[in-house]
Amino acid sequence: MLHSLVFVLVNGLVYGLLLFLLSSGLTLIFSMMGVLNFAQASFYMLGAYLGYQIMAWTDYWVALFVAPVAVGLLGAAVERYVLSKTHHRGQVAELLLTFGLSYLIVEGVKLVWGVNAVNYGMPPSLNFPIFAINGVSYPAYNVFMMVVSVAIFALLYVLLTKTRIGIIIQAALSDRDMVGMLGHNIPRIFALVFGIGCALAGVAGVVGGNILVTEPSMALSLGPIIFVVVVIGGMGSFGGALVASLLIGLLQNYMTTLNVSLAGLVGVSLGSHAPFRELLNQPLSQLAAIMPYFLMILILAFRPKGLMGKVES
Amino acid sequence: MSFRLAGRRSAAANNLYSLVGRIRKSASVAGLAAAALLSPLAMGPAHAATKVIKIAYIDPLSGPFGPVGILGAQGYEFMFNKINHSGELKGYTFKLVPFDDKVNPATALVDAEKASDEGIRYLLQGNGSNVAFALVNWVKKHNRNHPKDKMLYLNYAAIDPGLSNSDCGLYHFNFDANVNMKMAALVSYIKTQKNIHKVFLINMDYSFGHSVAEAAKEMLKRARPDIKIVGDVFTPIGQTKDYTPFIYKIKQSGAQAVITGNWGADMSLLAKAAGQANLQGVRFFTFYAGIPGTPEAIGDAGAGRVMQITPWAATVNSSETKLADEFEAKYHKDWYYGSQVYLTEMLAKAVKEAGTDDPTEVALHLEGMHYDSPVGDVYIRADNNAAVMPMYLSILEKGVKPYLSGTDMQWKVVKRIPAINLMLPTSCQMERPKGAKLYNAYYNNTGK
């Protein structure tokens, strides 16, 4: 039992940080621009494929720097030349545009890399077991992924709260016209923010694409969960996204690892005619995967601004 | 649908080489040119004097399951082309007419109606047992209402056991081994493995996953009562991103074998998690780890760990391997469906023997047919119209050639399970036309 709890804590932390890595870009773009970027998961997918391709050509460490920069530049260009034209028309226009963009990117990726998964492996230098819990090993690469995730959190925090550019970015969100009057180039600031947000998706793709699977449906399958993280954490809160990621990671691991049902959890054993027997005797592991969505509904119903959000949604 | 990027050629050369091919192929995937790609022009010389037998192919040609459906269509295009060229089908040629059903039963029924309106009398479908059940019922109704324009439905990959038991019929043939047959084949191997004492079941939470788990429990109990089922878990389709907790449970349970019907991302992520956790001494017995794209996604994590049960594998020493090479050279994809070879050959044989393309006569000649296929004898049981074929259990191994695209691995055959071992009892009550002759009767449930 104690061993299992240790496993739940460790694996929950590993998976939670992976979730944070995946959702950090979306949080940045939403909190600093107010744009709900539907194409975020597609940028993540592009990062994974570029990472795979650059690694095949050169090596992983080149991919880790080049792929996010490429995705970031593409994102900045999208904001500068297309998305910026919709800002004054409100969130629906932005949402529709990024929605269309997400399909465009997915189809583009299929054109270049085909419709099947690609064999994107871990860099050999980090592909060795570094520690184990009860016989379940973790490759060094997972530790590297956690370090990247925490580093991103720290960097963003410092950038946005402690630097001049961060303060200008924050001011541009709340008082766009005034910041413009003061001589700051608003379109350029927005392009920068959107670019960094997309670059973060690129990093997540390069780092997470080989832990998960790099295939054309990856954007579709990952899209919902990163939105859930952002909603639970609170729209636009980095701390919230981190807490939500860890919460989902821990809860899911707790539910899958322990062999209990809903009824067992409260110590009741049900007769064969008890109402809702089917549901209450369902093992929790079976419900783990849908738990984040349940949590999201609860949050929206009882605390719409999320765990640590600043914006009432 | 895959391209050898880090495969046999150097990556850079490779990239240039296949870019053009990719654009052509992916355009079809986008659904723009699915029909154009499978154009009649590609179907070989239709001699002026021959009669064309149109066969509707109803499967996904777009969306997430599009790649699998298109691979199937290209396999049939390839096989029909061969048959037409060989002149074996005297006076006839086969022509594939693709329809996109998006694995949706309602769409499939509309497609079947369309096919019927176009004068097509043969339906070919494989993806999704739910679609298969819908088509079975549609064919029954259609044949009752249109006794002069009967339809014959050939199912090449939907494997719910109900299709060859309670829902069997004269106008409905199953060419793939169903869940119970595949499980019987797996169990006949596990039975002989003295070091397997504990088995863990992990499946997707819908009817197919549950029938896999049920069959495993029942057959293992009969074959090896000493084997303990130490886990029986279900996960929602496509929702689980982190399979590590399940690997932890497998490890804790002390299982030596995992049996799973998982496919797609649920298969790849499960095998990848096992690899990352460095899980040793546990073999994964799977139905669908070999679907094109899955071995690439699993990568090295699958080597020496993941096994599959199929009617064919590239390392089976037979003339079908030559066919697979030809297919690969033409389409730049791995050959996957072994059943396509014997389905096409048996259909051709039935048309030849019947001397007509009338679906009823062809069905009566398919009943009980024996065919000496490149991988062994294939029989169609007269008592439930389901094919019985030898099955191959294989394991993913590094360094075994020919490499699967995008990997340095291949499925190495571990055991061949003869067809006779897969003759399971059936509850089918076959309704045949009164007084219809039984042309072939090699096998029924009483034996020869």
Quick one: three-class SS letters along B122-164? EEEECCCHHHHHHHHHHHHHHHHHCCCCCCEEEECCCCCHHHH
Q: Are residues B45 and B169 in the same domain?
A: yes
Q: Predicted confidence band at B79 (pLDDT cuts at 50, 70, 90)?
A: very high
Instruction: Label each residue of B279-318 as H, E or C.
Output: CCCCEEEECCCCCCCHHHHHHHHHCCCEEEEECCCCCCCC
- Between these two residues, A31 and B137, which has the higher pLDDT value? B137
Is the CB of residue A245 less than 8 Å away from at least one CB of chain B? no
What local confidence, expressed as pLDDT, does residue A15 receive?
94
Question: Do B186 and B47 have their domain in common?
Answer: no
Give the CA angle between residues B63, A209, A195 to the nearest 5°: 90
d(CA A42, CA A55): 20
A vs B, Cβ pairs < 8 A, gives 149
Residues B301, B343 within the same domain: no
B7-43, pLDDT tens digit by residue?
333 333 333 333 333 333 443 344 444 444 444 444 4
Q: Which of B26, B234, B240, B269 to mutate to test the interface with A (most CBs of A within 10 A)?
A: B26
Q: What is the ipTM of this complex?
A: 0.90
Taking residues A91-104, what's their average pLDDT? Answer: 93
Alpha carbons B270 and B276: distance in angstroms, whole number: 10
Which domain range does residue B322 map to?
31-177+318-386
Question: B14 burial class (0-12, 13-18, 19+ CB within 10 angstroms)?
Answer: middle
Mean of pLDDT values over B207-215: 92
Residues 198-257 on B with a CB inside 8 Å of A are: 205, 233-236, 238-242, 244-249, 251-252
**Is A272 within 8 Å of chain B by CB?**
no
Look at residue B442 in the predicted model and tell me its pLDDT. 58
Q: Given this model, what pLDDT does residue B439 score?
A: 84
Q: Does a structural domain hold residue A7?
A: yes
Across A286-312, average pLDDT: 86
Which residue range(s) make up the domain with A61? Answer: 2-219
Option in B11, B12, B277 nearest A136 (CB): B277
Does the beta-carbon distance from B276 to A138 stay under 8 Å? yes
- Whether B360 maps to a domain, the answer reads yes
The whole-number pLDDT of residue A270 equals 67
Residues B115 and B135 in one domain: yes
Q: Is A136 on the interface with B (CB under 8 A)?
A: yes
Q: Does B296 sit within 8 Å of A119, measured CB to CB?
A: yes
In the predicted structure, residue A251 carries a pLDDT above the cut 50 = yes
Cβ-based neighbours of B318, under 8 Å, separated by 6 or more: B374, B375
Question: Which of residues B245 and B437 earns the better pLDDT score?
Answer: B245
**Alpha carbon distance B9, A37 (integer Å):** 39
In a domain, A273, yes or no: no
- Give me the helix-helix angle, A186-208 and A40-57, nearest 10°: 60
Vertex B176 angle, CA B171 and B178, to 5°: 95
Is residue A282, in this structure, part of any structural domain at all?
A: no
Mean pLDDT over A84-97 rounds to 90
- For residues B273 and B242, what is the distance between their CA atoms, to the nearest angstrom? 7
**Residue B302 falls within a domain, yes or no?**
yes
Which of A158-162, A251-255, B13-17, B273-277 has the least mean pLDDT?
B13-17
What does the pLDDT average to over B82-101? 93
Q: Is residue A231 part of a domain?
A: no
Contact B251 A135 (CB under 8 A): yes
A139 at B interface, C-beta within 8 A: yes
Partners of residue B251 in chain A, C-beta under 8 Å: 134-136
CA distances from residue B87 to A176, B80, B90, B95 in whole angstroms, order as listed: 75, 11, 6, 14
- Give me chain B's average pLDDT, please: 86
Q: Are strands B370-373 and B376-380 parallel, antiparallel or unpaired?
A: antiparallel
Which whole number is the average pLDDT over A251-276? 77
> Last residue of some domain: B330, B358, B386?
B386
Which pLDDT does position B100 carry in this prediction? 95
Of B267 and B12, the structure prediction assigns the larger pLDDT to B267
Share of chain A above pLDDT 70, in %: 97
Tokens linked to B316: 């089976």
Percent of chain B scoring above 70 in pLDDT:
87
CATH number at residue B364: 3.40.50.2300
CB–CB contact A114 B248 (8 Å): no
- A228 in a domain, yes or no? no
Residue B353 lies in a domain: yes
Count of domains for chain B: 2
Query: Does B10 contact chain A (CB < 8 Å)?
Result: no
Is residue B184 located within the same domain as residue B245? yes
pLDDT tens per residue, range A42-89: 999 999 999 999 999 999 999 999 999 999 999 999 999 999 999 888
Q: Which of B233, B252, B293 is facing A117, going by the closest CB pair?
A: B293
| A161 Cβ contact partners less than 8 Å away, ≥ 6 residues apart | A167
| pLDDT for the residue numbered B18 | 38
Residue B80 lies in a domain: yes
- Tell which wins on pLDDT, B122 or A36: B122
| Closest CB from A15, A119, A134 relative to B242 | A15
DSSP-based three-state secondary structure for A128: coil
- Contact between B200 and B253 (Cβ < 8 Å): yes
Residue B277 contacts A where some CB pair is shorter than 8 Å? yes
DSSP assignments along B61-103, one per residue? -SSTTHHHHHHHHHHHHHHHHHHHHHT-STTEEEEEEEEE-TT
Give A104: exposed, middle or buried? Use CB within 10 Å, 0-12, 13-18, 19+. Answer: exposed
Q: Do B278 and A221 touch (CB under 8 A)?
A: no
Query: Does some domain include residue B1?
Result: no
Residues B116 and B252 in one domain: no
Nearest residue, CB atoms, B299 vs list A121, A142, A221: A121
Number of neighbours of residue B431 by Cβ within 10 angstroms = 11
Residues B407 and B264 in one domain: yes
Q: Which band of pLDDT confidence, cut at 50, 70 and 90, is reported for residue B3?
A: very low
Q: Tell me how many domains chain A contains.
A: 1
Residue B75's pLDDT band (cuts 50, 70, 90): very high
Domain shared by B54 and B103, yes or no = yes
Domain presence at residue A30: yes
- Residue B432 predicted with pLDDT over 90: no
Instruction: Indicate the pLDDT class of residue A285, thresholds 50, 70 and 90.
Output: confident
